[in-house]
Amino acid sequence: MNVFRFELRRAWMGAAVWTLVLIGLLSGLITAALPAFLESRTGVENMLANFPPAFAAAFGMQMDNLFSFAGFYAFGFLYYSLFGAIMAASIGLDLFSREKRDKCMDFLLTKPRARSRVFCEKLLAALTLILASNALFIAASLALYYAYAPAPLMPERALLAASALLLTELVFLAIGACAAVFARKVRSVSGTATAIGFGGFILSALHSILEEEKLRYITPNKYFDAAKAFFDGAFEANYALTGAFLTLALIVAAYVRYTRADIPVL
Amino acid sequence: MHLIAKEFKSGLKPFLFWTLGLFVLIFAGIVKSMGAMAEGQFMTELIGRFPRIVIAVMGMLNVDISSFGGYYAVLMQYIFVLAAVYASHLGSSAVSRESIDRTYEFLFTKPRSRSFILAHKMLATMAFLTAFSSLNFVFSLLAVKQLTLQGDYSGVFARFSLAIWLVGIVFFSLSAMFAASFRAAEHGARAGNLAVLGAYAIAVGYDLVEQPGLLRLVTPFRYFLQTELITGAVSPLYAGLCLLLSAALLAVAFARFERRDLGAL
Amino acid sequence: MAYAIETKKLTKYYGKARGIVDVDLAVEEGEIFGFIGPNGAGKSTTIRTLLGLIKKSGGSASIFGMDCEKDKVKILSEVGYLPGEVFYYDNMRAVDLLRYSASFFKKDCTARIRELADTLSLDLNKKIEDMSQGNKKKVGIVQGLLHAPRLIILDEPTSGLDPLMQRTFFDLIQRENERGATVLFSSHILSEVQRICDRVAIIKEGRIVDLRSIDDLRKNSYKKVSFTTENPIADFSLAGVRQIAHDGQQTSFLYSGDINALLSKLASLPLIDADVSEPELEEIFLHYYEDGEAAK
């Protein structure tokens, strides 16, 4: 497990900073804006009274969902998932391109460890970082839920909603790992990770604008919908399965490539 | 001139990637604007009832999304961030590409000053940024043709595109400065990316407070306010500030780059 | 007993590009085996195939009787490898890198790291990226030897080392050899190979063109002869002379054949000076290339 420990030691700082940013954003948004947001419901209801009844009725249906802890949490999720995606992609890129960037593939791969073992230890280190980060994020989410959500509480749904970030990050971890293994050269981890993160963000913005359901199958940020988790107690199976399948496929592809590829002379 | 040509070649792929993002966002956004505007009045009023912080986070403060201009301004919010991230990437890679590839010995032992080489590289990368902003204008014009809109929006598009370019060069120069200052290229790139995120957070903070005052000076994302760009002009004062700031940052970048120890990383 | 290294018709193509073709090697345990050839001849390709860094296209390769692909992990625990150019993780002290390196082996290497670093006078607490090429190389040497490997593979190892350090390095390798380690030493500098190797294989354009002992190479092949006369001699001829060159009063050539015939021929000339010596390997080696050129 020396590769595992080595990777953890080298990568934990970055993950810790991202986790702090994420939790800061989450708690900042909820403590600063949630109470005012819930109060603004009366204003909105007054406004709705001035609109045609059909219009108001259609929208009024969603009022309970919108003006709730869940609605607000889902609103912020757009940003959490952007940051989470960048973090996860950069962990994947960092760990799996470390030797490539430092030109020391020879060093690692002439040690008496099977490449499959090296890959697994790296993957395990990446997963550990993501899981630890999300354990904190989920704990913060639940604490805020208990503190700010009105009764009746449904903590198991809050848990599921908060784990949407974890699952989304796993997809991006796989994307980052795959990019790292297949790229001939990784120039900048943070640059590439930001590009991947914003790529996901643009796809999800596109999906919101176009409202094209098929598009959602290629929008990793929307495979695991926090709002749905809150309101229905489950993710939408077809998208969640797409996400799971994609993650698995990317990891397998990265594994095959990592264990088989010829290592060129620098 | 070889230098510029080579820089063009190596920057082409990322350019196409970012341009694709730009294209997709603008076309999808503009083509779908009709539907959004139909509900625009309702949405504007609805959003107006939300607490200020929520509106600020959504980037919809002071815009009327029932008009095309207001809708476009919200769309441009994304493009500003996109352009800033891209510009920051361009700036840091112009400075540290050779260090990362470990080909610096090849390039910087040629009989040219470092500043000469860096200036040419920057000229080439700056051209990508200029092309990106220009394409914003072109894509917007092409996309709006798909709609049956009254009025001529080319002025609005031109103002936004110019503003994007101006904000872009500030982040370009800032990242170039970081890349020239940090020893490890990765640290420079990370600082540039964090600067973009930080500036965006400050921009949200700017929207949040009723009287931001000097806060505007801190974040390039608010040098050009959406309301001004829709109706008025590109503020010459802030345009000047952008140019001045970029010049100053680039001057620092060049000075540091001239003096630094070149090496891998 | 199994050979330390044995390859049979080992072949590697990179796509359509030739790497190595039908390479047959048999390195016995305990010897220092030289592997020489010009740049691009296939030395590194052979070594990287042995180490499992690249996959062979055909043939077989084994180390200590174990297959280089199937038993790679077992083999690598007995092998130390030093590449020509060394790069390591940035932002890391030498000692941390060496500890990481040692953690791959199931033995305590602390004492040996100390000992090797002392021999090479290497400061282990410095960051590797702040070191000179030569010192980085020393880190590489310690890194390759710290687990007391049974087989040491050196791929053009001396670049970046000053002559004094090269001597220390060769002494070190010879000591490892006396300890029982087999050494595969690849180089394009023949004097290095001459210095420590027992046998040598010559590789050219991906194929092994010759294999012999160093002594054999020297003794049974050529003498380097040069002599000076008052007046230039243009028509010197004798069976077994090759590469004859005239330079004013001086005539020089390589000779193989009966030494008495040579001496009596020389005795008949009005000599001012004469010199018969063993040629440098470079000069012997040259003919492999010249013959190759002529064959084309």
- The identity of residue A173, as a single letter, is L
* Alpha-carbon span C27 to C201, nearest angstrom: 10
Cβ neighbour number for residue A227 with a 10 Å cutoff:
18
Question: What confidence score (pLDDT) does residue C282 get?
Answer: 63
Longest pairwise C-alpha distance within chain B: 65
Domain residues for the domain of C33 are 5-217
Question: What confidence score (pLDDT) does residue A124 get?
Answer: 98
E strand segments, chain C: 5-14, 17-27, 32-36, 58-63, 66-67, 79-82, 151-155, 182-187, 199-204, 207-213, 223-229, 241-247, 250-255, 271-277
List the single range of B111-125, B228-242, C236-250, C278-292 with lowest mean pLDDT.
Answer: C278-292
A32 interfaces chain B, CB cutoff of 8 Å: yes
C-alpha torsion angle, residues B136, B138, B140, B146 (rounded to 10): -150
Question: What confidence score (pLDDT) does residue B257 get?
Answer: 92
SS3 of residue C20 by DSSP:
strand
Domain residue spans in chain A? 2-260
A 189-228 near B (Cβ less than 8 A): 189-191, 194-195, 198-199, 202, 205-206, 209-211
Q: Kindly state whether residues C264 and C170 are assigned to the same domain.
A: no
DSSP-assigned states of every residue in B6-35 = HHHHHHHHHHHHHHHHHHHHHHHHHHTHHH
Cα separations in angstroms, C134 against A113, C120, C122, C145, C192: 28, 11, 10, 17, 17
C-alpha torsion angle, residues C209, C214, C216, C219 (rounded to 10): 120
Residue C157 located in a structural domain: yes
Cβ neighbour number for residue A103 with a 10 Å cutoff:
17
Q: Kindly state whether residues C46 and C174 are assigned to the same domain.
A: yes
- The identity of residue A135, as a single letter, is A
DSSP-assigned states of every residue in A17-66 = HHHHHHHHHHHHHHHHHHHHHHHHHHHHHHHHTTS-HHHHHHHHTTHHHH
Task: Out of C73, C77, C104, name the one closest to residue A2 (CB).
Answer: C104
CB A81 within 8 A of CB A163: no
Residue C70 located in a structural domain: yes
Q: Kindly state whether residues C103 and C67 are assigned to the same domain.
A: yes
* Alpha-carbon span A257 to A263, nearest angstrom: 11
Q: Average model confidence (pLDDT) for chain C? A: 88
B85–A43 CB contact, under 8 Å: no
Which residues, in sequence order, are CB contacts of C290 under 8 Å at separation 6+? none
Structure tokens at B13: 């792929």
B61 interfaces chain A, CB cutoff of 8 Å: no
Question: What confidence score (pLDDT) does residue A80 get?
Answer: 94
**Domain stop point among C200, C217, C234:** C217
Q: Kindly state whether residues C108 and C194 are assigned to the same domain.
A: yes
Cα separations in angstroms, C209 against A126, B155, C40, C192: 49, 75, 15, 20
Question: What confidence score (pLDDT) does residue C238 get?
Answer: 84
Structure tokens at A45: 């209801």
Q: Kindly state whether residues C158 and C241 are assigned to the same domain.
A: no
At residue C95, φ and ψ (nearest 5 deg) are: -65, -35
Please state whether beta strands C32-36 and C199-204 pair in parallel, antiparallel, or not at all (unpaired).
parallel
Which residue positions in chain A have pLDDT lower than 50? none
- CATH number, position C56: 3.40.50.300
Highest mean pLDDT: which range of A41-50, A108-117, B24-33, B223-232? A108-117
Residue C170 located in a structural domain: yes
Which residues, in sequence order, are CB contacts of A60 under 8 Å at separation 6+? A48
Residue C108 located in a structural domain: yes
**Residue in chain B lying closest to C132 (CA):** B263
Residue C130 located in a structural domain: yes
DSSP-assigned states of every residue in A161-197 = HHHHHHHHHHHHHHHHHHHHHH-S----HHHHHHHHH
Question: What confidence score (pLDDT) does residue A40 get?
Answer: 87
* Alpha-carbon span C158 to C168, nearest angstrom: 11
Q: Kindly state whether residues C193 and C160 are assigned to the same domain.
A: yes
Higher pLDDT, A252 or C216: A252
Q: Kindly state whether residues C82 and C199 are assigned to the same domain.
A: yes
C 169-208 near A (Cβ less than 8 A): none
Q: Label residue C56 by pLDDT band (50, 70, 90).
A: very high
Question: What confidence score (pLDDT) does residue C37 get?
Answer: 86
Question: What confidence score (pLDDT) does residue B212 get?
Answer: 75
A57 interfaces chain B, CB cutoff of 8 Å: no
Q: Kindly state whether residues C84 and C26 are assigned to the same domain.
A: yes
pLDDT in tens, B199-221: 988 888 888 887 777 888 889 99
Residue C287 located in a structural domain: no
SS3 of residue C41 by DSSP:
coil
Q: Label residue C216 by pLDDT band (50, 70, 90).
A: confident
Structure tokens at B251: 């001057």
Please report the sign of the dihedral spanned by the C-alpha atoms of residue B199, residue B205, residue B206, residue B207. Answer: positive
pLDDT in tens, C81-138: 999 889 999 889 999 999 999 999 988 999 999 999 999 999 999 999 889 989 999 9
Q: Kindly state whether residues C125 and C110 are assigned to the same domain.
A: yes
C 110-139 near B (Cβ less than 8 A): 129
Q: Average model confidence (pLDDT) for chain B? A: 88
Please state whether beta strands C207-213 and C223-229 pair in parallel, antiparallel, or not at all (unpaired).
unpaired
Question: What confidence score (pLDDT) does residue C262 get?
Answer: 87
DSSP-assigned states of every residue in C173-218 = HHHHHHHT-EEEEEES-HHHHHHH-SEEEEEETTEEEEEEEHHHHH
Q: Kindly state whether residues C237 and C251 are assigned to the same domain.
A: yes
Chains that touch C (3 or more CB pairs under 8 A): A, B
**Domain stop point among C196, C217, C238:** C217
Question: What confidence score (pLDDT) does residue C286 get?
Answer: 65
Cβ neighbour number for residue A155 with a 10 Å cutoff:
11
Q: Label residue C295 by pLDDT band (50, 70, 90).
A: very low
Answer whether residue B244 shows pLDDT above 90.
Answer: yes
* Alpha-carbon span C42 to A5, nearest angstrom: 37
pLDDT in tens, A174-221: 999 999 999 998 988 998 999 999 899 889 888 887 788 888 999 999
Question: What confidence score (pLDDT) does residue A58 get?
Answer: 67
Please state whether beta strands C250-255 and C241-247 pair in parallel, antiparallel, or not at all (unpaired).
antiparallel
| ipTM for the complex shown | 0.85
Q: Kindly state whether residues C21 and C101 are assigned to the same domain.
A: yes
For the beta sheet containing C223-229, the strands, ordered from the edge strand earlier in sequence to the opposite edge, are C241-247, C250-255, C223-229, C271-277
Residue C173 located in a structural domain: yes
Q: Label residue B149 by pLDDT band (50, 70, 90).
A: confident
* Alpha-carbon span A181 to A171, nearest angstrom: 16
A36–B53 CB contact, under 8 Å: yes
In chain C, the number of structural domains is 2
B49–A76 CB contact, under 8 Å: no
Mean pLDDT value across residues B188-197 = 90
Residue C107 located in a structural domain: yes
DSSP-assigned states of every residue in A87-128 = HHHHHHHHHHHHHHHTT-HHHHHTSSS-HHHHHHHHHHHHHH
Q: Cβ-count burial of C108 within 10 angstroms (0-12 exposed, 13-18 middle, 19+ buried)?
A: exposed
Question: What confidence score (pLDDT) does residue A83 get?
Answer: 94
Q: Kindly state whether residues C202 and C126 are assigned to the same domain.
A: yes
List the single range of A180-194, B97-111, B154-168, C46-60 with lowest mean pLDDT.
Answer: B97-111
Answer whether residue C149 shows pLDDT above 90.
Answer: yes
Answer whether residue C42 shows pLDDT above 60.
Answer: yes
B184 interfaces chain C, CB cutoff of 8 Å: yes
